[in-house]
């Protein structure tokens, strides 16, 4: 394959809609200090999150760079490198207040359990519920948000990417047990192997995978 920038043949990194060789990828201009376009704003306060929009429970679709969404996400996952791949992100509103965030993004590739569960090799037809954070709790609110998310994201995903969304998966790190997903009748698929994959090295070595021991997580999935 050829690099979109210098037109050289070789090993390619696909990012931001372009194909880069390693040299051109490293030369990309750095646009701020965020994590893949996400910047935490230390000045986000309750006044901003209590803007009056509409009564009742609803989801506001936002970009990952939305200051409130990014701040709540990076507070929840301080070690995150940000959100990459296909994604649909929401602010959760209830009675004129922002009460949380929820979203879905591209799942890890080549998970045999997912392909078997959905009976498909097409990994663009399901998403990972990568974040679900409630900052103002009310009775039954979490399960109501999850149901609303399932019903909303299917239409928004098709509008944005043109593919039918057939399901959602999620990972739950112990000691959490995934009670919200169980209450919403998601299927339990077992535990991950707890292996983290990274790429290291320069030039030809950057394609080499390195495996390290991570945290085993519960896996849940649901057809929508």
Question: What average pLDDT does the chain have?
Answer: 83
The percentage of residues in the chain with a pLDDT greater than 70, rounded to a whole number, is 78
Give me the pLDDT at residue 100, please.
96
Whether residue 37 contacts residue 65, with contact meaning beta carbons closer than 8 Å, is answered with yes
* pLDDT (average), residues 103-118: 90
Question: Which among 57, 82, 31, 81 is positioned nearest to 137, based on CA atoms?
Answer: 57
Task: Work out the average pLDDT over 128-136.
Answer: 96
The more confident residue out of 32 and 127 is 127
In angstroms, rounded to a whole number, what is the distance separating the alpha carbons of residues 136 and 94?
A: 9
The domains found in the chain, sorted by start residue, are: 1-30 (no CATH), 31-223 (3.40.630.30)
Q: Contact at 8 Å (CB) between 72 and 133? A: yes
Most confident region among 32-46, 163-177, 209-223 by mean pLDDT: 163-177
Given a cut of 90, is residue 215 above it in pLDDT? no
**Could you give the angle at the alpha carbon of 207 between the alpha carbons of 203 and 210, nearest 5°?**
120
Instruction: Give the burial class of 120: count Cβ atoms within 10 A of its Cβ; 0-12 exposed, 13-18 middle, 19 or more buried.
Output: middle
Average pLDDT over residues 177-203: 79
Task: Using the predicted structure, report yes or no on whether residue 197 has a pLDDT greater than 80.
Answer: no
Residue 103 neighbours by CB distance under 10 Å: 25
The percent of residues above 90 in pLDDT, for the chain, comes to 56
| Contact indicator for 59, 152 with CB cutoff of 8 Å | yes
β strands within the chain, DSSP E: 13-15, 18-20, 57-62, 87-94, 97-105, 126-134, 167-172, 187-191, 195-199, 209-213, 218-223
Percentage helix, strand, coil for the chain under 3-state DSSP, each rounded to 5: 25, 30, 45
């Amino acid at each position: 394959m050829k690099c979109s920038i210098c037109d050289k043949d070789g090993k390619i990194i696909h990012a931001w809609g372009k194909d880069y060789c390693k040299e051109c990828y490293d030369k990309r201009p750095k646009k701020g200090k965020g994590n893949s376009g996400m910047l935490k704003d230390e000045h986000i306060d309750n006044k901003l999150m209590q803007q009056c929009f509409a009564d009742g429970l609803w989801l506001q679709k936002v970009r990952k760079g939305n200051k409130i969404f990014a701040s709540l996400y990076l507070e929840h996952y301080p070690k995150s490198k940000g959100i990459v791949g296909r994604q649909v992100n929401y602010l959760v509103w209830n009675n004129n207040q922002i009460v949380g965030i929820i979203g879905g993004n591209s799942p890890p590739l080549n998970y045999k359990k997912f392909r078997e569960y959905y009976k498909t090799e097409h990994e663009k037809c399901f998403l990972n519920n990568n974040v679900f954070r409630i900052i103002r709790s009310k009775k039954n609110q979490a399960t109501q948000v999850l149901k609303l998310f399932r019903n909303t994201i299917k239409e928004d995903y098709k509008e944005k990417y043109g593919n039918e969304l057939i399901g959602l998966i999620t990972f739950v790190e112990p000691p959490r047990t995934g009670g919200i997903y169980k209450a919403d009748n998601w299927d339990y698929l077992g535990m991950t192997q707890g292996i983290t994959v990274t790429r290291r090295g320069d030039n030809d070595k950057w394609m080499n995978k390195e495996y390290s021991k991570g945290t085993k997580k519960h896996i849940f999935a649901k057809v929508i």
